Amino acid sequence: MSGKAYNFKSITVVPKASDFVDIVLSKTQRKTPTVVHKGYAISRIRNFYVRKVKFTAQSFHDKLDTIITEFPKLDDVHPFYADLMNVLYDKDHYKIALGQINSAKHMIDNLAKDYVRLLKYGDSLYRCKQLKRAALGRMATLMRKHKSSLEYLEQVRQHLSRLPSIDPNTRTLLVTGFPNVGKSSFVNKVTRADVEVQPYAFTTKSLFVGHTDYQYLRWQVIDTPGILDHPLEQRNTIEMQAITALAHLRACVLYVMDLSQQCGFTVEQQFSLFENIKPLFAKKPLAIIVNKADTMKIEDAPAEVQERLKAYEAEGISVLSMSTLTEEGVAQVKNAACDKLMTYRIESKTRNPAMQASLNKLNVTLPRPRDNKARPAFIPEGALNKRMGRVPTKGRTQREQKKQRNEERKELLAQMPKRKLARDLQEELREEYSVDLRKEWDLEDASWRYDEIPEILDGKNVADFVDPDIDEKLRQLEEEEASRKAAGEYDSESEDEDTKAVRARALLLRERRNMFRVASQRKSKRNAPVLPIKIRRRLAEAEERRLARLNRPKHATDDDDGDSDYDEDTRGRSMDADEDASRAASRSRSRTPLRAKSKKTVKGVAPEAAARRKKPVSLRAAGGVQSSTLKKASKKMQRLGFRKINYMGRQGEADRHIHVKMPKFLYTGKRGVGKADYR
């Protein structure tokens, strides 16, 4: 991916929450109609306010979606930028902020859908307007709740726009080392960058990028902040930027050292830092640059330092010297580093497995016939004569020679083995032929084509639940069943009277249970009321007792005096069942109180009979009130309630009067041509 994909300077500015709301509401006022009258048809009024709600929600949605899409996703960018953003901004905080903006977008969409659905049932201009105000107010409140996320993303955007444009895949020279060893001075000498140089440590606090030309190519030179020799968890944000660049960029690493120790660090500390960060240079071209050669050259260094540098040269690490003050050896260091990186890039491309894989994909295909014309193989005459071992006879006509060659060619083709096609196999097997799809499967090993494939159901292998001995067990069961039948265990003559009675009662109970089930299904289909479960259980128990009484022989319960205790017991139980049924029926019926207001006789009729004759008073007809005193009190309360409603300026009980002053642009309309006043 090229560096153009990471153009952080083009990210849209993230406004504050209050500005966000003002921008969207002003746009809604400017882009949608502003005049509506109560005399309009209710459908026109609804569409007027639905349009405003939808337009506002869409404006919020578009602006939030722009923020989400333009900010880089850490999973899509180069690992260098992902780790750099984690160092600078903490990726968890960054993802949470973007996630909150995304959730706000979805919540605004849901709010718009809900209020559009409510507006379709608005029956007046006032209600539609209040629903519109509620929808816009909730959207604005939702955006104000995300004030901190918007401010954080704006700070991230400003910092991202100040980051240098680094291409992780281009030709790059990476300069690193202790602070104040001359890294920024070298970058200023070989590039057109203007990095600040001061005689104290940690002058460079972030990554700086410069560009230079070598062999008609553009090279990228990155200046990193200084690194100290301590554990990784103790490094600060400035040092972690350099560590991130060393870990992820494919570059030639130039480790700058100062043998004169003017940087404030000893030579042993510089070698120790090099050994600690050496794993970050794995599989990368590396060079050790000894700076400030005008003060101390490699030849003037102590013997142990020279031996250590020679040991690094033996490992394949280049050791070069320069002086950024006198510019001695600066050009040679740049040229050597560029050559080293170019050689490394060419070698890595040649041994890249992707190139070998692409070569393996090349295949020579054989042409297939496009029509049904026969195109026999052509064998030259000289080759055919040589193969047949004969000398061509002279004196024959050309036609005879051609005929002979054709006959010999047919004989030769007939001797050649013919490949068996799928069509030939189909004609041979007829109905037994089936297409073998596994034959053409392209697997790593051809012997795997006909292996058993596991059948997965609900995440489990079906083969684990298959009993391999099921056929044998079924055969044994069938043999046992046959032996029992032969022994006469299932003959009806061997059954006693009790067994027959039990089977008859079981059959009768089963039929009754099926009847109850069908009846309940019919009731549920036509929405009939269902009895409580306790009553149904009692009815079922009573029915079972009744069936048991019918099926039980009477002589088994007779006493010596000829009376039947069983009949008396079942009579009592059936009475209980009848009481349960009547109680359940009374529960399902509506209970209307029957009260006789007076006990006077009506034309000689008894008071009890008159009370039965008089129709019951319906509470629904009386407005839910049983006495005239309560009715008057309720009407008085109703009048007081309506008076309070009128005092609050409401149109009815369902209307809400909210004393909130709205901005002027929500109450005013558009100005006409030649007018300077608002409507």
Amino acid at 92: D
Q: Which residue has the higher pLDDT, 310 or 198?
A: 310
How far is 108 from 128, CA to CA, in rounded Å? 19
CA atoms within 13 A on the CB side of 376: 14
- Cβ atoms within 10 Å of 544's Cβ, excluding its own: 13
Confidence of residue 596 (pLDDT cuts 50, 70, 90): very low
Judged by average pLDDT, the poorest of 230-244, 266-280, 296-310, 561-575 is: 561-575
CB atoms < 10 A from the CB of 385, how many?
15
Residue for token pair 């929405």: 527
**Strands, E assignment, 215-323:** 217-223, 252-258, 286-291, 318-321
- pLDDT bucket at 183, cuts 50 / 70 / 90: confident
Quote the CA–CA distance of 220 and 167 in Å, as a whole number. Answer: 8
579/8: higher pLDDT = 8
617-640 as b/e: b if 16+ CB within 10 A: eeeeeeeeeeeeeeeeeeeeeeee
Helices and strands in the chain, H and E counts: 22, 8
* Mean predicted confidence (pLDDT) in 81-94: 81
pLDDT tens column, 468-480: 888 788 788 888 8
Model confidence at 561: pLDDT above 50: no
- Of the pLDDT bands very low, low, confident and very high (cuts 50, 70, 90), residue 49 is very high
- CA 538, distance to chain mean position in Å, is 53
Q: Is 163 exposed, middle or buried (0-12, 13-18, 19+ CB in 10 A)?
A: middle
pLDDT band at 207 (very low <50, low <70, confident <90, very high): confident
Start-to-end Cα distance in the chain:
57
The Cα 188–Cα 334 span in angstroms is: 12
Q: H helices within 120-236, ranges in order?
A: 125-145, 147-162, 183-190
Full DSSP string of 392-435: PPSS--HHHHHHHHHHHHHHHHHHSPPPPPHHHHHHHHGGG---
Instruction: Give residue limits of the domains in the chain.
Output: 17-161, 172-351
pLDDT tier at 558, thresholds 50, 70, 90 = very low
What is the rounded CA–CA span in Å between residue 448 and residue 445?
6
pLDDT one-digit tens code per residue, 328-345: 888 888 898 899 888 888
Helix (H) or strand (E) holding 614: none
What pLDDT was estimated at residue 67?
A: 92
Closest by CA to 565, choosing from 555, 575, 550, 578, is 555
What pLDDT score was predicted for residue 660?
56
pLDDT for the residue numbered 643: 67
3-state secondary structure of 154: helix
User: pLDDT tens digit string along 439-468?
Assistant: 888 888 888 888 877 778 888 887 788 788
Higher pLDDT, 654 or 274: 274
Mean pLDDT, residues 293-307: 86
Please check the confidence at residue 674 and state whether its pLDDT lies above 70: no
Report pTM. Answer: 0.45
Give Cα separations from 46 to 33, 35, 126, 133, 621 (angstroms): 13, 13, 11, 13, 37
> Which residue type sits at 98?
L
Q: Which of 125-139, 230-244, 317-331, 632-646 has the lowest mean pLDDT?
A: 230-244
Rounded to whole angstroms, the Cα distance separating 240 from 277 reads 12
Cα gap 15→23, rounded to integer Å = 9
**Pair 119, 45: CB distance under 8 Å:** no
Identical fold between 17-161 and 172-351: no
Q: Which helix (H) or strand (E) holds 282?
A: none
Three-state SS at 50? helix
Inform me whether the pLDDT recorded for 158 exceeds 50: yes
Confidence bin at 594 (pLDDT 50/70/90)? very low
Provide the β-strand partners of residue 213. Answer: 218
What are the backbone dihedrals phi and psi of residue 501, each rounded to the nearest 5 degrees, phi first? -65, -40
DSSP reduced 3-state for 75? coil
- CA distances 71 to 101, 132, 425, 647, Å, are 12, 32, 62, 53
Measure the CA–CA gap between 157 and 314, rounded to whole angstroms.
47
Kindly give the residue spans of alpha helices, DSSP state H, lying in 249-372: 267-277, 303-314, 330-350, 353-360
CATH T-level topology, domain 17-161: Four Helix Bundle (Hemerythrin (Met), subunit A) (1.20.120)
Cα–Cα–Cα angle for 273, 277, 281, rounded to 5 degrees = 135
Q: pLDDT of 128-151, one tens digit each?
A: 999 999 999 999 999 999 999 999
pLDDT score recorded for residue 395: 53
Q: Whole-number mean pLDDT of the chain?
A: 77
pLDDT of residue 58: 95
Q: What is the mean pLDDT of residues 246-266?
A: 83
If pLDDT is split at 50, 70 and 90, which confidence band does 391 have? low
Q: Note whether 20 and 150 are within 8 A (CB).
A: yes
pLDDT of residue 110: 95
The position carrying tokens 């007076």 is 598
Instruction: Measure the CA–CA gap between 562 and 557, rounded to whole angstroms.
Output: 9
What pLDDT does 642 receive? 67
Q: What is the DSSP letter of 287?
A: E
Q: Which two tokens stand for residue 59?
A: 């404006």
Helix (H, G, I), strand (E, B) or coil at 558: strand
pLDDT single digits (tens) 479-523: 887 887 788 766 655 567 777 787 787 778 778 877 877 776 665
> Among 250, 166, 204, 219, which Cα is nearest to 334's?
219
Mean local confidence (pLDDT), 619-631: 65
Q: Name which residue leads in pLDDT, 326 or 647.
A: 326
Could you tell me the fold of the domain covering 172-351? Rossmann fold (3.40.50)
* CA separation, residue 210 to residues 142, 216, 381 (Å): 45, 16, 73
383 or 566: which leads in pLDDT: 383
Give residue 595's pLDDT.
Answer: 45
